Amino acid sequence: MRRSRCCCGIDFFLPPAAETRKGTLSAVSRDVSTVPSSRESSLALTFDDGPDPNGTPKLLASLTRLGARATFFPIAARAAAHPDLIERMLRDGHCVGVHCDQHVRHSERQAGWVRRDTERALSLLRSVGVSPTLWRTPWGEHAPFSADIARHHGLQIIGWTVDTHDWRGDSAETMFASVESGLRDGAVVLAHDGIGPGAGRSSVDQTIALVELVAEHARRTGLALEAL
């Protein structure tokens, strides 16, 4: 199985009250990084909390049909349980970063706990052929020690500029209407190919339908869908 390494790039900032599944991100979580595309006009689709044995294969098939590349931030235990899906992501030209081993906010744990969780996650991902350089922390939230852990492992913390809130279970049309204005050059779109904690849905079907709508928007506006 081949290994994948993703590139690094520039900084951006989330709005002061970026909404998450359980409210708003605290002040410690605002500073995040994203990666510029190699092309001038593009946006990045990113997917957290997978892989899901039912939804992820359908999502990957849709991305292939659309000629799109994306970035995945899997939960490491799920990645280890489904190495075929990780291998398919890499084979199809997608980027695979690291999310976590246990999906817990950094602000709810001490530095030692997060350090051990990150080490376990990286070890599991290496076992399925991935050497990540990009890290999306659980809930997108940081603690004061998060940056030090990232530097120790050569990771760049990645946030987003557009949140689909697909975990709520809204229709693809409703989600697209809420995010369309943010789908511009340089956007980083947060979605989920797994059913994470607090989700109000039982499948990722509407997320896949949303990807179709985003791809059509990208075609109309001259944007490529690229991995980070």
Find the Cα–Cα–Cα–Cα dihedral 199, 156, 176, 49, rounded to 10°: -20
List residues with catalytic annotation: 48, 192
Task: Calculate the alpha carbon distances from 48 to 35, 39, 43, 115, 141 in Å.
Answer: 17, 24, 17, 20, 14
Task: Calculate the alpha carbon distances from 137 to 10, 159, 184, 221 in Å.
Answer: 17, 8, 24, 31
85 with 60: CB under 8 angstroms? yes
Task: Calculate the alpha carbon distances from 213 to 48, 63, 112, 218 in Å.
Answer: 19, 12, 42, 9
